[in-house]
Amino acid sequence: MGEFNCLYSHGFARVAACVPRGTVADPDFAATEVLGLAAEGDRRKVAVMLFPELGLSSYAIDDLLFQDALLDEVERALARIIEASRDLFPVLVVGAPLRHAGRLFNAAAVIHRGALLGVVPKSYLPNYREFYERRHFTPGLGRRGEQAVIAGRPVPFGVDLLFRSEGAIPLTFHVEICEDIWVPLPPSTRAAMAGAELLLNLSASNITIGKAEARRLLCASQSARCVAAYAYSAAGPGESTTDLAWDGHAAIFENGDLLAETERFPEGAVFTVADIDIERLRQEHMRLNSFGDCVGEEMEEGAFRVVTFALEQPPEPVALERLIERFPYVPSDPSRLREDCYEAYNIQVQGLAQRLAATRLPRVVIGVSGGLDSTQALMVAARTMDRLGRPRSDVLAYTLPGFATSEETRANAWALMEALGVCAAEIDIRPAARQMLADLDHPFARGEPVYDVTFENVQAGLRTDYLFRLANQHAALVVGTGDLSELGLGWCTYGVGDHMSHYNVNASVPKTLIQHLIRFVAGSGDVSAETVEVLEAILATEISPELVPASAATIQSTQQVVGPYALQDFSLFYLTRYGYRPSRIAYLAAQAWSDVERGRWPANIPEADRRAYTLGEIRHWLEVFLSRFFTNQFKRSTLPNGPKISSGGSLSPRGDWRAPSDAGARVWLDELDAHLPKEGQ
């Protein structure tokens, strides 16, 4: 299990953006500071450590940069770091003024395991306002294919270098320096198109009011455009303040998201660490065909030289330090959750309103069970009529009690329909169900307590059949209620059952989000106190199809059969959105769910539902998910229309998920067995 519990086994790479203490023009002091932080990075098994621009000399030293004594000392300090790196795990990327071909360059030195892998000069030199780098340095622009001798070592030199690990930890990164990110076409753009997953920026970057936010904007947007991670490190304490000031700003971004950031204006050395999800970035590159098209249009063959090295996996497991959201469809940030609920609810309303306008039908028909899904769909239908300027009586809502309908859910259904002011009615399906079961010569019709799939689906099918015939009778459209989670698990009755409708407003809404959508409406102030009371009662009710009488066993619990929706939605998201292998999904689930106290919970999750899952439980329910997901594709291949809600995707065959209906789960189950065997195997 040691390998399974290591972040490097699952496509993550730990990166550090460092701000050491400085002192003006003292390379030996700077080297000591770099090595001090590098030792800490080695202890934490950081793969790549980034240091500031001109860190070995300090940045704001003006014409001291032309002093041979200082430049010689810089090379000695660099040689010291190179030698010390033999026993260190991380790759070190250090800034220094370096001489080559009779010129002086503002450069980055890439160091690993006693070797100087390459030197990258700064492409764009600012020479405006407080900057005058062209007084001292030669631009790196056009320096390609060159070799240099630095600190007595021959080394690749140029702006055309990519650094690629061919060891057990595959990773490709690129280096640019400060101003390079501030130009219209940063060098890292083409590097990302050439395969770089991690983009590094050594910066000095003095601080002025508002500049930190500009840096965040630049780095976040560059990481998003390039579908890459972007690490940035700026000069901090000890840099000369003759005319400037420094805030020691270091940050790490991934595909537009800020993962980690130092506290600014530190008094001593600081660094920030983030575990970059390299596999996520690779998946996005494969999926974004427009990214590949741009590569084909803009990249020239041979634009980069690849410097290879071996970054090997540590012998001991390295625990992931990145927080994984428990609910990928439900953000834990309260403001983000409110915004997501607002958008999801209005997407549903807008979708249904457009469908009614297109069909020119005056009414909708909906079945109301007193459960979560039909509650949300009914509220959407009522709100749609408000938006269209129609009376809510145009929503024809029916509760259709069967053999296992509890008095609680029936009462909740009636209370909700009355509170929302829709046209409410009840049709008892039991007489028709008894007749059908008798026609089928089913044992139940002879008084035997047989509650098999036929018994269940006779009820589910009759409910849908009644709704479609009611729609015919009243010139109405049948609104579906089944959700994304049920479609993923195949937990719906195919054809004439809850699988079918004229338009399904819940088709892309996972079960874990629906409860928050209901709470969003309850707390919006747009519904009566009576409605809020019944919504709270519905939220507190056990999720059940109510098809098997409770007297035959305990209450029929959906989650005891198909698994906890919290885990199954987690698996659904990562399998369909990113295509992750099952062992990686299990690893991520263990990070998210193994400890109740780790990370934030979304607002309003009841205390009773705040529980942890063992790795064994996670594995078991993931196996159930995989088995059900692939064998039920035929239900998803014939879905009615419904609006896509989130970037997590839909399962529509016309949208995010298209798959053969006769595929099996063997490949995925075998992968899970190979990397996370069952206990006792």
- Residues involved in catalysis: 53, 122, 178
DSSP summary character for residue 325: -
* Token reading at 618: 């996670």
653 burial via Cβ count (<10 Å: 0-12, 13-18, 19+)? middle
Exposure class string for 547-560: b at 16+ Cβ within 10 A, else e: bbbeeeeeebebbe
Quote the tokens at residue 406. 């509890």
Paired strand residues for 398:
367, 425
Give the span between the Cα atoms of 78 and 83, in whole angstroms: 9
**Of 176, 173, 219, residue with least CA distance to 192:** 173
Encoded tokens for 138: 């030669």
Instruction: Compute CA distances 375 → 398, 454, 506, 537, whole Å.
Output: 12, 26, 11, 11
Residues paired with 424 in a beta bridge: 397
Strands (E), 24-160: 48-50, 91-100, 103-112, 115-121, 146-150, 153-157
Burial label, 372 (beta-carbon count in 10 A; 0-12, 13-18, 19+): buried
Residue-wise DSSP of 547-580:
-S-GGGSS---HHHHH--HHHHHHHHHHHHHH--
DSSP for 394-458 reads GEEEEE---TT--HHHHHHHHHHHHHHT-EEEE---HHHHHHHHHHTT-GGGGT-----HHHHHH
Question: Partners of 273 in the beta sheet?
Answer: 16
The residue type found at 416 is L
